[in-house]
Structure 1
């Protein structure tokens, strides 16, 4: 019989791409997680994990195991909840900023749904400013979004720098002014910061593409239409960071959790704790295999 603890470590390493981050997530030592993987590989007689240039990845045998491991852990969670006397129930309206959805949200939701299967989540994805407006109108119970430095609303999750991105920075630099800018519509936080920085440096600009979807903005940037501003850790593939010195420096942004007064505090607390425990800001990481 496969060991549930070993399977849990295996799934965590796959999700986090790192033994160190998986250990932090599980509240274990890195050596303990490494031992779990070694014992699981010994039990199955197969190598499950390997390392590429950036992160720990699954082998073909690891890919074959992953779906079954998740299913086993899901069944185990369902059984525990079935006999838990304090199982949370109800609905929670969660608002998440557009650029966060494709990065770390899937892992957070997977764990929360597994731990609280009787909670119904209503997910809204929008710009941070729009989410705050919706919450002020009573339409959202919990918001995970960006705030500007100096804003005191919410609980800080992490802080990171904004960067200028382009498919070919040198080609953009050779263009005659004004700077072609790709941006979210108002009330985007990143848009406001970028425009303020350009105005301070008195650099001419024009917005060549506006879209409320990050996938749309990314497509425009990959097509070479202009420059896009994003948090560094959320830079889309296919775009390069523009080196400092040519364009003005951008201030950092902070990702925060903001609960609504009057929302179900038990549900808000449970999801907030999951997010604070699992979401990680940008950091340098040395990858280690056991």
Structure 2
């Protein structure tokens, strides 16, 4: 078993660049820090730190160990906080973290008087799922869930997919976009792993297979900028373009036929105590109808009908 004190000293040496400064940081003697690193190296049967007169640097093994060591200490801190209901960590996929989550967290912190710090982790959907499984976050908000065992996933919000174009685009005055039109235009893709492609394929069949995704830009923010530059059109969540539609820099148009909506989820471990802070936050997200969320719902129809 690895000793967390030894790991903490190893990371301190990497941060400080030498054993003396690491000892000062950890309020330990230099000999103790040196002993910690030696014992960690013995436990792993490898050299982790290259020592020289100019300072210390990680060996290749030390480089490999570093992110795992940081994760171990982070999880240790989170476990201690969780046992005392001191802090909660929520992971959000990029679109949720950037465009949707803020009013809910603000409302939660106001309700609890700010006594429980909330750590926000915003990453791509697959990364958030992995962090939840590794215990690096307590609650996840995602654009899909793959039903892996040991977790509870609850539908949270329904978000309509819309086509976005620049105001002078030939489609800008359309009330809806016929799905067949999407086959003949360059379609700009955003963040991979959001499940949007699978959702379109489910609803649109072969039309979705024939659409030409010319670029994968990595984020909705990037997509919006490229669409504004006249480099193509895209399909995004309606809530991600509210500000641009208000400002008149983009037009958001529903797809023809029944709306295609994406279900967003709140997910947590099934083993959470009923009185735990993470479960309290998860239920808050599911139950609360914040003023900001209401505003989003009221604005969404205006975005489409103002076209």
Q: CA RMSD in A?
A: 3.7
Q: Closer, same or farther in 2 for the Cα pair 1:269/1:129, shift >3 Å? A: same
Shift in alpha-carbon separation, 1:148–1:193, aligned structure 2, 3 A: farther
Aligned equivalent of 2:42 = none
Match of 1:251 among 260, 266, 272: 260
In the alignment, structure 2 segments of 5+ residues that lack a partner are 1-83, 302-307
Name 1:144's counterpart in structure 2.
141
Counterpart of 1:36 in structure 2 is none
Change (3 A) 1:203 1:107: closer
1:193 pairs with 2:189: no
* 1:225 and 2:222 aligned: no
**Aligned equivalent of 1:210:** 216
Is the Cα–Cα contact under 8 Å of residues 154 and 265 in structure 2 kept in the other structure?
Answer: yes
1:60 alignment partner in structure 2: none
Give the whole-Å Cα distance in 1 for the aligned partners of 2:182 and 2:116: 54
Larger radius of gyration: 2
For the residues of structure 2 that align with 1:256 and 1:176, how far apart are their CA atoms?
A: 28
Structure 1 position 269 matched with structure 2 position 279: yes
Distance, in Å, in 2 between the alignment partners of 1:232 and 1:133 is: 27
CA-to-partner distance for each residue in 1:265-289, whole Å, 9 max, x for gaps?
5212321233231354764589xxx
**Structure 2 residue 97 is the aligned partner of structure 1 residue 101:** yes
| Cα shift at 1:145 | 1.7
Distance 2:231 2:155 in 1: 34
* Aligned equivalents of 1:190, 1:176: Cα separation in 2: 15
Q: CA offset at residue 95 of structure 1?
A: 0.8
Q: How many residues align?
A: 196
SS in 2 for 1:156: strand
Cα shift at 1:136: 2.2
Distance apart, 1:195 and its partner CA: 5.5
CA spacing shift, 1:122–1:140, aligned 2, 3 Å: same
Please report the TM-score for the alignment, with normalisation by the length of structure 2.
0.52
Q: TM-score, normalised by structure 1?
A: 0.55
- Higher percent of residues as helix: 2
CA distance in 2, matches of 1:233, 1:251: 14
Q: Shift in Å at residue 197 of structure 1?
A: 5.5
Distance 1:134 1:269 in 2: 17
Instruction: Map Cα deviations across residues 21-66 of structure 1 (whole Å, 9 max, x no partner).
Output: xxxxxxxxxxxxxxxxxxxxxxxxxxxxxxxxxxxxxxxxxxxxxx
SS at match of 1:278: coil
Residue pair 1:95, 1:123 contacting (<8 A) in 2 also: yes
Asked if the contact 1:164/1:241 (under 8 Å) is kept, the reply is yes
CA contact (8 A) 1:185 1:212 kept: yes
Distance, in Å, in 2 between the alignment partners of 1:230 and 1:249 is 16
CA 1:186 to 1:203, structure 2 compared with 1: closer, same or farther past 3 Å? Answer: closer
Give the CA deviation at 1:112.
Answer: 2.3
Which structure exhibits the higher relative contact order, with contacts defined as CA atoms closer than 8 Å and separated by 6 or more residues? Answer: 1
Give, in angstroms, the shift of residue 141 of structure 1: 1.0
Instruction: Say if 2:160 is the partner of 1:161.
Output: yes
Deviation at 1:120, TM superposition (A): 2.6
Structure 1 unaligned blocks of 5 or more: 1-87
Counterparts of 2:241 and 2:270 in 1: how far apart (Å)?
Answer: 33
Contact 1:198–1:204, Cα closer than 8 Å, also in 2: no
Residues 131, 143 of structure 1: 8 Å contact kept: yes
